[in-house]
Structure 1
Amino acid sequence: MNGPVRILHVFGAMNCGGAETLIMNVYRKIDKEKFQFDFAVNTDIPGYYDNEIKALGGRIFCHPSPKDNIIKYIQAFNNTIKYYGPFIAVHSHVHNFSAIPIIIAKFNNVPVRVAHSHSTLGYHGINVRNVYYFICKKAMNLYSTNLLSCSSDAAHALFGKGILKDVKHQILLNGINLEVFENILENQNIGYIKLGLKEKSVVFGHVGSFSYPKNHKFIIDLFRDILKKIPESHLLLIGDGPLKKEIEESTKLMGIYDHVHFLGIRDDIPQLLNLMDVFIFPSLHEGLGIALIEAQAAGIPCIASNNVPKDANLNSGYFEFLPLNNDFSQWQIKINEALQSKENIISPQERFELIRKKGFSVDSTTKILEEIYG
């Protein structure tokens, strides 16, 4: 075969989520003389990464939404594999629904078929929906050649108990690009000025899509409580999503809008992280939390909900897991501790070396995927 082999990644859309960002980090690093990525999405609405994908030589195949018409989706996906291949691998990132593209890939003789779990969202009980999820799990386990998970919790949620002993399964850590953190400018004054902050401001932050699992309502309720005790506080919310307008309106009704900065999707996240004093991550469920890895790379004290997998704590400095409830007193205590803990954060060189050793560098992730595809 002349030229690189092609891998088809399956997503809902190529927007700026954790799984999409992980694969784009790998895409930028991977040897493109050997491997080329294409993307199958379930929408014709342009995604955040679409232009970069095309610039890197990738193709984007838009399929009908399976929620609207599953038969049309199956036909379209099957045609993509038949007429736009050959693909050496189909790598699916759409949780339970990965069963469908994996089965289609199997019957089109795609040699490498990867189902990838990025979430701890699980399903329990007996009803029609959960029977469907059970069948999907069995199909993925049967027809995939490789099963990947970002954490052991994410593995159990999608593939079932005992999956960690399966020879087809392995944990693939969400690698980040450490180079951008190594090159962060230390001068924070420029960032403060751009955001209209004063140097004495206490800055809290969160990175994540405005969607139900990220729990932005908890963040702004907590921040309102913080603001009563620390009036010079500001909150940076980085990301976009369906609930953004609702959260914006809530901050206005609470009277805290002037202290909350909705920054949208950004390509300067390392610089913005460098402005924060405490990183807040109260997810309702989470595969791992790549934003937490980035926050630790930037040397920020982190406070996360205990729904986040324990693997997210790299032991690089202050990190707390707390329960979610309506009483913010425990969060306030830990926030005060975090604000006093910056001197306990290890040096940048030590942080970066720790992250590499633990396998959270994108170089490690890319190497593993090259071995799977190759």
Structure 2
Amino acid sequence: MMVRVLQELSALDGGGVAKLLYDYYRNMDHTKIHFDFLIYDYYENGMYEEPLKDLGCTIYKLPRIKKDKIGYLTGMKKIIKDGNYDVVHSHMGSRGLFVMYYGKKYKVPKRIVHSHIAYEPVSNAKRKVNAMLASIAKHYATDLFACGKDAGIYMWGKKASAEGKVHIMTNAVDTDSFQFSNALRIQKQEELQITGKFVIGIVGRLSEQKNYPFLFSAYKKVTEQRDDTVLLIVGRGLEEDKIKKLAADMNLGNSVRFLGIRSDVSELLNAFDMFVLPSKYEGLPVVLIEAQANGVQELVSDRVTTEMDITDLIKFLPIGNTEDQWAKEMCSASIKTHERERYSNLVRQAGYDIKIESKKMQNFYCNIEE
């Protein structure tokens, strides 16, 4: 029996959830399981759309609810009604309530709603609205998922988590492809013309969540103390023009490189000496698992759950008026490559290997109770 799964997420671009699902599906048995995707019109063509189409997936793209509520709801209704799906899996957290509702209405046996956020800085009023939406999503769902314990508690509550009602789907990676390679390090640094530089990097959507103004302020202080650094920014997003203008206005143009969306992140990480992630909030960022598998040092916001700390590579720092502290850590860091190869195995042993975890997830999808 072929199990048909509809995955809902915002976009199939360079974001962590998109890459996660792409990697999970690539490592599953396609004679037993089939994925289709329901996404929204953030990008004309997200980077994983064509690769997933090549794997036989259908990509449905709907207008965002704020742009066209009727088009959003009628389109979703038709997709689920006509799709003959065995599973609907929404990665939209509390906003997955509509897929859960139509999934139940049209008798989809397994309905999964998934939290990828462990903390979000919102007003009390917005928090109450989110809690109400989450309770509706829970009502129509058959299974609650989260990327980690904190994300499960944040979205689905302490009681559900304590009672074992929240399934953890780890943000697993291909640990072999992310293992450090000194040959790739030399190659990528030569390609980017940054040989001899101390390379600081971030892989993250160009959005308010990732806190680029804070990062630029801290990095500006680094450039005032060191003249051998470069900041690589990998990703794109709806605030790209604004963020690029900010870097230019701060006279960072010569030492900040915007690399755009890239399909070679596993290779690029070899060129990094330090990975930075000053996010205002996160779930369990896949990229931090990737960076740890590569053995690169990491400076991470204390708004990111400590569940991410699966090696000895991460240092958590606060992000409130602490640019000097971040700059000090970046300035005092040294290039360390001699032990980086061993970290891919540590990440694998911690339960984050995609080849193992994808089989577990496939079994979960295929265990359908009629």
TM more than 0.5: yes
- Counterpart AA for 1:107: K
Q: Bigger CA drift: 242-251 or 176-185?
A: 176-185
Letter in 1 for 2:359: K
Alignment check: 8 A CA contact 2:121 2:281 kept: no
CA shift, 1:125, in A, is 6.5
2:54 alignment counterpart: 55
Amino acid paired to 1:313: D
Which residue does the alignment assign to 2:101? 103
Count of aligned positions: 365
- Alignment counterpart, residue 246 of structure 1, candidates 242, 248, 255: 242
| 1:359 aligned residue | 351
Worse overlay, 232-241 or 184-193: 184-193
Distance of 2:251 and 2:28 partners within structure 1: 47
AA of the residue aligned to 2:355: D
Q: Give the drift of 1:123.
A: 7.3
Is the CA contact 2:230–2:256 (under 8 Å) kept in the aligned structure 1?
Answer: yes
Alignment of 1:148-227 (within 5 A): 148-182=145-179, 184=181, 186-197=183-194, 199-227=195-223
1:114 pairs with 2:109: no
After superposition, give the CA deviation of every residue in 1:159-212 in whole Å (9 maximum; x if it has no partner). Answer: 123231234312211001123124846253322222122x32111000000011
After TM superposition, give the deviation of residue 319 of structure 1 in Å.
Answer: 1.9
Match for residue 235 of structure 1? 231
What residue number does 1:290 align with?
286
Q: Give the match for residue 267 of structure 1.
A: 263
Unaligned runs of 5+ in 1: none
The whole-number CA distance in structure 1 between the counterparts of 2:123 and 2:150 is: 19
Give me the whole-angstrom Cα distance separating, in 2, the residues matched to 1:158 and 1:7: 23
Task: Tell me which amino acid in the other structure corresponds to 1:326.
Answer: N
The CA deviation at 1:33 is 0.5
* 1:31 Cα offset (Å): 0.7
Distance 2:196 2:10 in 1: 42
CA distance in 1, matches of 2:216, 2:158: 36
Deviation at 1:122, TM superposition (A): 4.3
Query: Where in structure 2 are the equivalents of 1:75-154 lying within 5 Å?
Result: 75-83=74-82, 85-122=83-120, 127=125, 129-154=126-151
User: 3-state DSSP class of the match of 1:333?
Assistant: helix
SS of equivalent residue, structure 1 residue 279? strand
Higher relative contact order (CA 8 A, sep 6+): 2
Q: Is contact 1:209–1:241 with CA below 8 Å preserved after alignment? A: yes
Per mean C-alpha deviation after superposition, the further-off stretch among 288-297 and 165-174 is 165-174
In 2, the alpha carbon distance for the partners of 1:71 and 1:247 equals 33
Displacement, 1:295? 1.1
* Cα distance change, pair 223–183 in 1 and its aligned pair in 2 (3 A): closer
Q: Is the 8 A contact 2:176 2:344 kept in 1?
A: no
Aligned-pair distance for 1:95? 2.0
Shift of 1:124: 6.8
Aligned partners of 2:175 and 2:345 also within 8 Å: no
- Is the partner of 1:225 in helix, strand or coil? helix
1:11 matched to 2:9:
yes
TM-score (norm: length of structure 1) = 0.91
Does the 8 Å CA contact 2:180/2:294 hold for their aligned counterparts? Answer: no
Alpha-carbon distance in structure 1 between the residues aligned to 2:90 and 2:322: 40
C-alpha contact (below 8 Å) 1:120/1:154 kept by paired residues: yes
Aligned Cα root-mean-square deviation (Å): 2.1
For the 8 Å contact 1:304–1:322, the answer to whether it is kept is: yes
Q: Which residue of 2 aligns with 1:42?
A: 40
Contact 1:320–1:334 (Cα < 8 Å) also in 2: no
Q: Distance in 2 between matches of 1:45 and 1:125?
A: 32
Aligned-pair identity in percent equals 29
Please, what TM-score do these two structures have when normalized by structure 2? Answer: 0.92
